[in-house]
Amino acid sequence: MFGFECQECHKGVVRAQQRADIPFKVDGIPFNVPEGTVGVCDNCGAEVLSAKECKRWRALFEQMQQQSDRLLCPEDIMGLKAQLGYTTTQLAGLIGATRQSVTQWMNASRVAPQSRMADVLLRLVRECLATDSVEVLPFLTSLARDNGIDLPAPARSRLHMLGRSASPGRAAYDRAFQGRPPSDGTRPSLRVVPQGASDTAA
C-alpha cells in the first residue's frame, strides 16, 4: 500500500503509520476515525491517504450515521413512499435517483445507505408532507448543523409555488408536488422569495 517515493519532496519514502482519532470528512461532514492507517513521508512529513483506507472510513462513517439516526432508516423511507402513494420508481423520479438505489435504501439489510444529499431530499419531502410548506434555507441549515457543519443563519425566506397566477393556491401546490401538470398546461415553479419582497414580482 505504501513504501513509494514521496511526491511532495521526492526525497523521502511514504511509510504506513497507525493513528487514532483521525480527523476526516465525508460529504463535508466532520468525522473522527477511531483508528486507521496514514502514509507519512519519512523526510518531509507529507501525509497520504490510500483509496482503500478512505473507502473503509466511509463505510465506518455510514454505519455510525445509521446507528445515530442521522440517516433515514429503511422503514422511514418505506413509510414516506406509502405516505406519498408512490411506487419505488416514482419516488426515485421525485428525488432524481434510480429505482435500484431506492430499493437498496429500503432494504433492511442494506450494505450502503443513501448519500447525505439523497437523505436531505427525502427529509425535505417528508417535511413538506407534514407542514404543507417549508422554509427551505432554515430547514437545510438545521440539518447541516445536526451533522456538525457550522453554517451562519441564512436570510429568512419563504418558499412559494408560483404559476401563471400570483396566488396558485393549494391545488396548484398539490399538482406540482405530485408531478402532475395543471390542466391549463402551465407548470408552477419553486422560488425562494426574500422576506418583504413582492410575491407577484417576476
What is the layout of strands, in order, in the sheet containing 4-5?
4-5, 13-26, 29-41, 47-48
* 95-122: pLDDT as tens digits: 999 999 999 999 988 877 888 889 999 9
pLDDT at res. 67: 64
The domain spanning residue 53 has which CATH number? 3.10.20
pLDDT at res. 140: 82
pLDDT tops 90 at residue 25: no
Residue with the bigger pLDDT between 159 and 66: it is 66
pLDDT tops 60 at residue 7: yes
What distance in Å separates the CA atoms of residue 140 and residue 32, rounded to the nearest whole number? 23
Residue 179, in any domain of the structure: no
Please give the span between the terminal C-alpha atoms of the chain, in angstroms, as a whole number.
Answer: 58
Residue 61, in any domain of the structure: yes
| Residues contacting 199, CB < 8 A, separation 6+ | 160, 162, 166, 167, 193
Q: How confident is the model at residue 161 (pLDDT cuts 50, 70, 90)?
A: very low
Q: Give yes or no for a contact between 153 and 147, defined as CB atoms under 8 angstroms apart.
A: no
By residue count, the chain amounts to 202
* Overall domain count for the chain: 1
What distance in Å separates the CA atoms of residue 113 and residue 102, rounded to the nearest whole number? 9
Residue 25, in any domain of the structure: yes
Q: What is the average per-residue pLDDT within 14-35?
A: 88
Domain of residue 26: give its range.
Answer: 4-67
Residue 47, in any domain of the structure: yes
pLDDT at res. 153: 65
pLDDT at res. 80: 94
Backbone angles phi, psi at 64, to 5 degrees: -70, -35
Per the structure block, which three cell numbers stand in for 134? 417549508
Give the percent of the chain with pLDDT over 90. 39
Residue 50, in any domain of the structure: yes
* 57-102: pLDDT as tens digits: 888 887 776 666 678 989 999 999 999 999 999 999 999 999 999 9
Residue 51, in any domain of the structure: yes
What distance in Å separates the CA atoms of residue 189 and residue 160, rounded to the nearest whole number? 8
Per the structure block, which three cell numbers stand in for 180? 402532475
Residue 163, in any domain of the structure: no
Q: Which of 187, 193, 115 is nearest to 159 (CA)?
A: 193
Residue 148, in any domain of the structure: no
